Amino acid sequence: MQIKSAIFKMSAKNLEAAPDWQRPEFAFIGRSNVGKSSMINMLSNRAGLAKVSATPGKTQLLNFFIMNDNWSLVDLPGYGFAKVAKTEKINFNESVGDYLEHRENLRQVFVLIDSRLPPQRIDLDFVNWLGDCGVPFSLVFTKADKQSAAKTAATTEAFLAAMPSHLSGIPSVIRSSSKTGGGRLEILREIDARLKD
């Protein structure tokens, strides 16, 4: 799939305020600083579409973009901000939980995980929660350019091994780099396939 147009449509503070449309939605989420804004810019080929490095904790809105006039990319607030969370407890706002659980036109979630880190409890908890909600998701291991392919493969494997076994039927694992464009085609291909379902 080529991205011919990418337009920021609106921000919503919760599910009720989300756009009233039937467009299939693909949501992106991850811990603050995981590289989500860079990824959205890379996918859309638009340098400033999502703001890179907005202050952690400040971006608590659900942001809706219209892609190719027929599907929507949803930029969700990050979870587990160190400044907000008092404990290692997963901390993502209620609106995000509501959106993920109840948005009928949500087709798939891309969960971004920093490929340089060993499995983080907070990512595992989130993925576990998402799996229990029954929302299809893919894991995207970001910033793969920062280390060797072998190291990325090792952290990816470690994460999968740490995941609860009932989630082993996850749709896919993608290694990405917003610097090299790695993973872009895989993500777009996956979206394309789901649009044709």
Specify the residue, 23 or 146, whose C-beta has the smaller distance to ligand GDP: 146
Joined tokens for residue 60: 């608590």
Residue 161 CB-density burial (10 A; 0-12 exposed, 13-18 middle, 19+ buried): exposed
Tell me, by CB under 6 A, how many residues bind ligand GDP.
18
Q: Between residue 162 and residue 191, which ones bind ligand GDP under the rule CB under 6 A?
A: 177-179
Cα–Cα distance between 109 and 74 in angstroms, integer? 9
Q: To the nearest whole angstrom, how small is the minimum distance from the Cβ of residue 3 to ligand GDP?
A: 18
Q: To the nearest whole angstrom, how small is the minimum distance from the Cβ of residue 56 to ligand GDP?
A: 7
Cα–Cα distance between 112 and 86 in angstroms, integer? 22
Stretch that binds ligand GDP, among 2-10, 26-34, 86-94, 95-103 (CB under 6 A): 26-34
Write the CB contacts of 110 (distance below 8 Å, at least 6 apart in sequence). 26, 27, 28, 29, 137, 138, 140, 187
Specify the residue, 34 or 43, whose C-beta has the smaller distance to ligand GDP: 34
Cα–Cα distance between 126 and 124 in angstroms, integer? 5
Of residues 84, 100, 97, 89, the one with CA closest to residue 32: 84
Q: To the nearest whole angstrom, how small is the minimum distance from the Cβ of residue 16 to ligand GDP?
A: 25
Specify the residue, 53 or 87, whose C-beta has the smaller distance to ligand GDP: 53
Q: To the nearest whole angstrom, how small is the minimum distance from the Cβ of residue 139 to ligand GDP?
A: 15
Residue 139 CB-density burial (10 A; 0-12 exposed, 13-18 middle, 19+ buried): buried
Cα–Cα distance between 63 and 78 in angstroms, integer? 12
Q: Is 148 in the site for ligand GDP (CB under 6 A)?
A: no
Q: Between residue 32 and residue 91, which ones bind ligand GDP under the rule CB under 6 A?
A: 32-38, 52-53, 78
Choose which of 98, 101, 125, 145 interacts with ligand GDP (CB under 6 A). Answer: 145
Q: Between residue 115 and residue 144, which ones bind ligand GDP under the rule CB under 6 A?
A: 142-143
* Interface residue list for ligand GDP (CB under 6 A): 30, 32-38, 52-53, 78, 142-143, 145-146, 177-179
